[in-house]
Amino acid sequence: MKIYAKELKQHLNEEIEFSGFVDSIRDLQWVQFIILRDSTGKVQVTIEKSEEKNKELVDLVSSLPVESTVKVTGKLLDSPKVKLNGMELIPTNIEITSKSNNELPFNYKKIDGVNLDTRLDYRFIDLRSDANILLFQVQSLLVKYIREYLYQNDFTEIHTPKFIATASESGAEVFEVKYFDNKAYLAQSPQFYKQMAMASGFSKIFEVAPCFRAENSNTSRHATEFTSFDVEFSYIDSYEDVMNLEAEMLTYALTKVKEEYGTKIKETFGEEIIVPTLPFPVMKLSDVYQELETRYNYKVAPEEKTDLTTEAERLVYKLAKEKFNHEFMFVVDYPADKRAFYHMRDENGTLQGYDLIWRGVEITSGAQREHRYEQICANAESKGLKEDVKFYLEFFKYGCPPHGGFAIGVDRLTMLLLNINSIKETEFLFRGPSRLTP
């Protein structure tokens, strides 16, 4: 029976089959120790050289390159003296299921000093490290618990097309693709379609899917393709309902991730998972700038104050901790003319939208949407968009409830949770302006 590393404890003193990578080999005078690993853990295989019946195994192991894969059958013994989990596998047979080259392109267990591009070129090897396997287990868990929260609250997962005919965010950032005799674009966001679901009466939906942005920016937080967790729901009274749902959702997911992986994350990444308290603090953009100036002497030109600069985002983390003893901060009251046309403005022209900043980085944009037909048409027109978004404007013509939503970047979320330097390391395969392979 095939056993995974994490199940081994239940099979002591049994004949088992274990398959995995050869993590390391110690070939001593009297004994060979082989450490095998699968994605759930490691086990030691012990071969006594003096035993005649082991001769073939000893020969095989002495020329076995590490990182080969093997299938081992044998007896699993309870051996308290063995440092690795107090057990060892005494093999009767070892089958090499694939042989690795002796020389790896780099040592994925010692990445200090290894160029990140080399690691990304050989991402399949880079991902073999314990830290990287944990990283993607944590990312998977985060997504699982965000989903779980939404399912518990009657949301339906939908899947919207990624070939689109018009840009949803702003014209400059789309990738154009040839679509038979026409042009199409890769979706920057499911924005229009999640709103369409509201017009279709779905009430509560979400989607986890790729977004494509033709942003030629080489920063630690931008990718040309990233995974977006998009949420949209109806019958809200204000964008505060949207912020509240998001804060609750994140708190739920972080609580669960901490319960399941908190200790491992602390051991591997040195990061404590801090479960936030509700409600999350909220500040107006203009107040943020004012406080950054008085507290930290951070000054920017008035024309830059229409959005948070990268440095201001970083300082918002400091401010959130000092002022509210919190890791998160919602920033509201962005100038309406600088934000997407689908955000609602109130009767004074104040934007009914927000950004969420976590640990110094924007992780979310959200808003109540403009659902009134005349008003959304006027908003689109003011951005010179009317013809392009004609199909979208139709959604609001035949009844559409008040609604709002938000999007969280999953890769950024993982980066901040584990205090990883760059989004390049939290995407399974990073896509950036100068990276399309592997």
Interacting residues toward ligand AMO by CB under 6 A = 169, 189, 191, 213, 215, 222-223, 226, 228, 230, 362-367, 405-409, 411-412, 423
The nearest distance, CB 205 to ligand AMO, in angstroms, is 12
The nearest distance, CB 410 to ligand AMO, in angstroms, is 8
The nearest distance, CB 104 to ligand AMO, in angstroms, is 30
The nearest distance, CB 366 to ligand AMO, in angstroms, is 5
Nearer to ligand AMO among residue 132 and residue 364 (C-beta): 364
Q: Which residues pair with 22 in a beta bridge?
A: 36
Grouping H, G, I as helix, E, B as strand and the rest as coil, residue 315 is helix
Grouping H, G, I as helix, E, B as strand and the rest as coil, residue 40 is coil
CB 137 within 8 A of CB 148: no
CA contacts within 13 A on the Cβ side of 401: 18
The nearest distance, CB 306 to ligand AMO, in angstroms, is 15
Sheet containing strand 282-284, edge to edge, reads 156-157, 204-212, 225-234, 403-409, 361-368, 353-358, 328-332, 282-284
Give the separation between CA 434 and CA 253, rounded to whole angstroms.
Answer: 33
CB 24 within 8 A of CB 32: no
The nearest distance, CB 243 to ligand AMO, in angstroms, is 12
Nearer to ligand AMO among residue 145 and residue 233 (C-beta): 233
Q: Name the closest residue to ligand AMO (Cβ).
A: 409
Nearer to ligand AMO among residue 88 and residue 313 (C-beta): 313
Q: What is the CA radius of gyration of the chain?
A: 27
Nearer to ligand AMO among residue 8 and residue 138 (C-beta): 138
CB 411 within 8 A of CB 429: no
Grouping H, G, I as helix, E, B as strand and the rest as coil, residue 1 is coil
The beta strand positions in 28-155, using DSSP E, are 31-38, 41-48, 69-78, 87-98
The nearest distance, CB 90 to ligand AMO, in angstroms, is 49
In 3D space, the residue among 417, 412, 418, 406 whose CA is nearest the CA of residue 430 turns out to be 412
Q: Tokens standing for 297?
A: 């002497």
Nearer to ligand AMO among residue 41 and residue 276 (C-beta): 276
Q: Running DSSP on this structure, what letter comes out for residue 39?
A: T
CB 70 within 8 A of CB 95: yes
Nearer to ligand AMO among residue 64 and residue 423 (C-beta): 423
Q: Tokens standing for 245?
A: 């749902």
Give the separation between CA 184 and CA 177, rounded to whole angstroms.
Answer: 5
Nearer to ligand AMO among residue 130 and residue 173 (C-beta): 173
Nearer to ligand AMO among residue 87 and residue 423 (C-beta): 423
The nearest distance, CB 215 to ligand AMO, in angstroms, is 5
Give the separation between CA 73 and CA 76, rounded to whole angstroms.
Answer: 9
The nearest distance, CB 408 to ligand AMO, in angstroms, is 6
Nearer to ligand AMO among residue 76 and residue 363 (C-beta): 363
